[in-house]
Every structure is written in C-alpha cells, then in structure tokens.
Structure 1
Amino acid sequence: MHWDRLFEDLEGQLASEWEAERAALDAESERLRIARLELRARLRRLCAFSAEAVVDLANGRRVPVTLRALGADWIAATSRVAEGTQAAASTLLMPAHAIAGITLDHGMILASVEEAAPSDHTLRERMTLGFVLRDLARRRVAVQVSTLTGEDVHGTIDRAAADHLDLAVHEAGDARRASAVQAFRIIPFPRLVAVRTPGTQMP
C-alpha cells in the first residue's frame, strides 16, 4: 500500500514536470515565431479583418480609416466618416514609407500577431505603387495628393513613371480639361504621403 502511494506520487510529479517542460517549450516557440514576424504579415491580417484604425502619416496627420488592401509597397483604406457629417467616403492609397504608426484596439493588435493559415498571396500584393498610380492615370480619376510638407494638391495624374508622377493641378471636383488646369507638378514618390480618390473602390 505504501509503495502504491509512493509510485502514484512519483507519477504525479513526473506528469507535472512534463507539463511544465511542454509549456516552457511552447512559450519559447511562440517567442521565436513573434521574433520572426514581419509588419507586412500583420498588415495582411489587419486588411483581411477590415480593421478600423487611425493611421499616423509621415506629415503629422492622423486619419481614421478601415484597412482594406495591401500591395507590394502600399496599403489602401477607406476613410471613416463621422455620422452626421456631409463628407463623402473616399479611398486612401498610402505608400508604406509614409506610415509612421497605426493605432488599433487591443483585440485587433492581438489578432494581427496570431499565426495565419498558409495562403497564396493575391495578385494585388505584387502590384507596386507605380502600377496603381498608372491605372489611376489611365482612368483619369481625380485625386487629392498629400505630400510630406503637409500640402494637399487636387488634380489628375497625367502619368506615373518609375519613381515620380506628373499631376495636372485643378480644383477639386473639376474634370481635367485644358481650361481647368492651373499648373503641372512633378511629385517624387518618396514625397507622397497619401493619394485620395472618391468612393470606396479598391485598387
């Protein structure tokens, strides 16, 4: 009887030690996974969740948005319009280099670090900023371009090259007609902070 109790105690201790060792290994494995986690993977998860966020831009502005799509070097979001305001919904195309920070609720922070199931990345994730801007130029979409200096310029993108765009400047809401164009601007991509388009259509 005495030996039975002794063996039961030893089995209990051994099981506890195994459980503690397994928990330590799991914790270490999770620390290693987090250490390898890249911002891009978290942004992909946040876009998949259509996370509501406040994005801090490199020019000091903070914009409340719903994160929607991730590209090769950009992220797209729809503006969040406060109830009771007359502002129309719009889409923001933000170069990755222009994002200074993202504020989220705690649940989304935790969801963004969870291990995602392996999946094929979409074609959109291979599209560069220049590719998307060339599409806006082709479709003659009116845009509002925000720059690092804090300036907002309205117009239509005439062309998007390898590292810069040409903008025909005109009043917001005007079509790009020769008589409406006030100036032509060359804007280097590194100076872009956001390109806003009307509506909520994603690139």
Structure 2
Amino acid sequence: MRWQRLLEDLSAQQAALERADQAAEIAERTRAEHGQVSLSHRLAADLGQPLRLRVRGVGWVEGRLVGLGSDWLLLDGGVGAVAGREALCRQDALVAVEGLSGRADTDARTHRLGLRHALRALSRDRVRVRLHDIDGEHLEGTVDRVLADHLDLSRHADDEPRRESAVRGRTSVPYATLAMVLRL
C-alpha cells in the first residue's frame, strides 16, 4: 500500500513538472511571437480607427488612421494641428501612439508603397502643403519634384496658385528630416 501511494505521488509530481514545462514553453513562444510584431502590424489592425500620435517636431496630433504604407501613415485630421486636414506622417518620426487596440495584423497587405509614392501623389495634385521637420520648423508651398532622397518645394503666397511668376523660392528637403506633411 505504501509503495502504491509513493508511485502515485511520484506520478503526480512528474505530471506537475510536465505541466510547468509546457506552461513555460507556451509563455516563451508567446514572448517570441510578440517580439515579431512591429508597430506597422499594430497600425494595420487599427485602420479606420481614431489615434493620437506624438510626432517629432510637431507634438500631439489626432485623427482617424486612413492609410498606411511601408514607412508612412495617413491621418484624416480630427483636432489640433491637423484639424480637418490630411496629415502624412513618417513612421520614423513617431515618438508615441495612443489608442492602439492591442491587436496586430501580421498578414496585412499594407501598401508596399513608400514615402516617395505618397509624396508623388501630392506633387501630381499640385496641392499646397505644410512640411513639418523633426526640429519643429515648417515650410509651406507646393511639392514640385520628388527625388531619391529629397523633395523640392516651391514657396509661394498662400492665396496664389503655384505659378512660376508667384514662386518666391525653392527649398530642397531631405526625407530624413521630414516629420509630417499637412495637406492645406
């Protein structure tokens, strides 16, 4: 009888150790999977949702996430600096994001288009923009050309369309210094 209880006790201890090992393995695999989730995956899961972003050189902006590319995101402005406007933000310029659901879409077919493609659309549409840089400065004008690592911005009066006679100057802006492009 004592041998029976001893064997049962050893068997129970063995089962407890196996459960503990399995729980530890599951926890480790979960941590490893979480380690593969990027901010882009989380943003992709929240397309269409309102977010609050802290953008380097700009501060906090709020809006609904309406677009996502490989290195940018597009907000449809709610309040603050982007109220009623579209804001194109470089993901590298994000300091913090509030309002993420906690979900991740690792299979998302986010736009494979990079920042240059999004900027080309602004250039093609000839819209006035405000470029915010990571140091907190901004320039306004029309994007004339989108090049490999920078863009050319023609500065002109706010109340005039972009015409050669209205251009007061041109500024080349490296993408690495851009934080946000606000469509005016």
CA distance in 2, matches of 1:93, 1:154: 14
Q: CA deviation at 1:180?
A: 3.1
Query: Which of 152, 155, 167 is matched with 1:181 structurally?
Result: 167
User: Counterparts of 1:45-84 in structure 2 under 5 Å?
Assistant: 45-46=45-46, 48=47, 50-57=49-56, 59=57, 61-81=59-79
Higher strand share goes to which structure? 2
SS in 1 for 2:87: strand
- Tell me which residue corresponds to 1:90: 85
Query: Which of 136, 144, 149 is matched with 1:150 structurally?
Result: 136
Which string of whole-angstrom CA distances, capped at 9 and with x for unpartnered residues, describes residues 126-166 of structure 1? Answer: 11111221121111111111123322211111111111111
Amino acid at match of 2:98: L
TM-score (norm 2): 0.79
CA distance in 2, matches of 1:51, 1:11: 54
CA distance in 1, matches of 2:157, 2:59: 22
TM-score (norm 1): 0.72
- Tell me which residue corresponds to 1:26: 26
Contact 2:50 2:64 in 1 (8 A): yes
Q: CA deviation at 1:18?
A: 5.3
Correspondence 1:102 to 2:96: yes
14 and 173 in structure 1: CA distance in 2 versus 1, 3 angstrom threshold: farther
Contact 2:87 2:180 in 1 (8 A): yes
RMSD: 3.0
SS in 2 for 1:175: coil
- Tell me which residue corresponds to 1:165: 151
CA distance in 2, matches of 1:21, 1:51: 41
50 and 18 in structure 1: CA distance in 2 versus 1, 3 angstrom threshold: same
Residue-pair matches, total? 183
- Tell me which residue corresponds to 1:201: none
CA distance in 2, matches of 1:61, 1:29: 37
Which string of whole-angstrom CA distances, capped at 9 and with x for unpartnered residues, describes residues 25-61 of structure 1? Answer: 3222111111232233223223x3524223232x252
